[in-house]
Amino acid sequence: MPQSDFDYVIVGAGSAGCVLASRLTEDPAVRVLLLEAGGSDKDLRVRAPGLVGLLWRGRFDWTFFTEPQKHLEGRRMHWPRGKALGGTSSINYMIYMRGHRDNYDSWRDAGNPGWGYDDVLPYFKKSENNTRGADAFHGDCGPVTVSDVVGNPLSEMMVEAACEATGAARNDDFNGPTHEGFGRHQATIRKGVRCSAGLAYLRPAMTRANLTVESGVLATSLVIEGARATGVRYRRGGAEQTARASREVLLSAGAIGSPHLLLLSGVGPAAELKALNVPVVHDLPGVGKNLQDHLLGPMAWRDRSGITGNVSPLPLIGWLARWGYDKTGPLASNVCESGGFIRTKTSEPRPNLQFHMLPVGSNQESFDKKAFEPKGHAFSILPTLIYPESRGEIRLRSADPAAAPAIDPRYFESERDLDLLVEGAAIARQIADTGPLKKARGEPLGIVTNAKTDAEVRAAMRRGTNTIFHAVGTCAMGNGESAVVDAQLRVRGLQGLRVIDASVMPTIVGGNTNAPTIMIAEKAVDLLKQA
């Protein structure tokens, strides 16, 4: 079995892995190997933001499915996860959102020193190149371009209607002094092109002699000698290879991939590993547990004003030509151009519902069976649960590394989660029936929007609710028995091994998770340099 030696071996070229590979190799004396199961991200569908809907269930997607969900009428929900350089940042909707400052303060207060909002803000700023310029909350020299989206006029109408219907304030910067209100999103788009972690961090670093990138390979297990991780076994085609790390192995395979590789390596709940005849290397009960995700309610209406784009073959040809010529037009937009955050009760300590607003719509019940299919001129207002009480898990289905793990988010195990989405549906209806939207609103599309009573909405949500693919928490940071990593992101009880990705979040952030994942990796680089 061929072997090669590096200072660091990184598993996963997603949002976190790209940051690590780039920052660590700034020192020419440090040798880094980056392992990625997917392939190149150089594809029109990745580069053009408006083609995001074409990226699922193809070569860029792991195409995971959950276990049948008891409280969703037994549905097996599709979980898109990026399988390419850049990871899920190459297939997401590019919304730049950090979450509420209390999210990070709660991490700190739960026993993770150095992870409060004031501690992590410098790393958000370090990663960011905001086209609005630098200020107390934003940076303008980082690798990730964050820009305003010039989109469809109906996106602005939805913001105006949402403010009027809810009494919420206009918010032109969700990542600034306040998180609450409605406004236009900023997006990780650079001059009309998706600015993934692959483009922002990895591509410039790939010219360095001290970085080796191996794509199209499957990590099969960690090499653990005594109580120390010393390398990674991986498979290219039928050939097995081993890469050794003289300093540390860094797992950045995401909230599914990182716990999966730990479990395959015998690191996890001993009883579960023994049941699958996996030799127990280190009994660590929290591996794969504490799974959290955001859910949305699909609500859409026809646009009788004709303002929204009609997504059909003929207009699409013109959009492609325009984007190809000067990177402008509908395909330069991330589609989800506006949204906001509100409190369902004044007693709530922070906004507890998010809304995503899109100038496209569909009458699909869910996205489980096929990709999103736009329905002519239409718009969507999607209430989104951002602080779920339900907790799930990632388990081994098989000791075969090529077999997908069992993904069981246990959606709506807490009835309160469903209650909030039902409240959100009522608010979305108010927004659609207010001000400028009232004139544009046509017939409702889909079962949730057509439901009348609360009981009907509850039933429709069980059939139609969908993940917004923000899985976190499965290698949670902390100091209790259920924690997997400590505040330095070191796997508890082992040496030479850290997890650095969204799986370390002890609790989910109140917003989209890509920017926080990049922040975690930026901070991790400093932790590694201090080791």
Enzyme catalytic residues: 470
CA distance 290 to 393: 6
Task: Name every residue whose Cβ is closer than 8 Å to that of residue 117 and which is 6 or more positions away in sequence.
Answer: 101, 102, 103, 104, 105
SS3 386: coil
Neighbours of 308 (CB within 10 A): 25
CA distance 185 to 96: 7
Question: How far lies 427's CA from each of 99, 200, 303, 494, in Å?
Answer: 21, 37, 19, 48
| Burial class for 353, CB neighbours closer than 10 Å (0-12, 13-18, 19+) | buried
Encoded tokens for 218: 């499957």
Encoded tokens for 306: 């004709």
Which amino acid type is present at position 286? G
Beta strand 3-11 pairing with 32-36: parallel
**Helix (H) or strand (E) segment spanning residue 221:** strand 218-225
261 phi/psi in degrees, rounded to 5:
-70, -35
Secondary structure tally for the chain: helices H, strands E: 15, 26
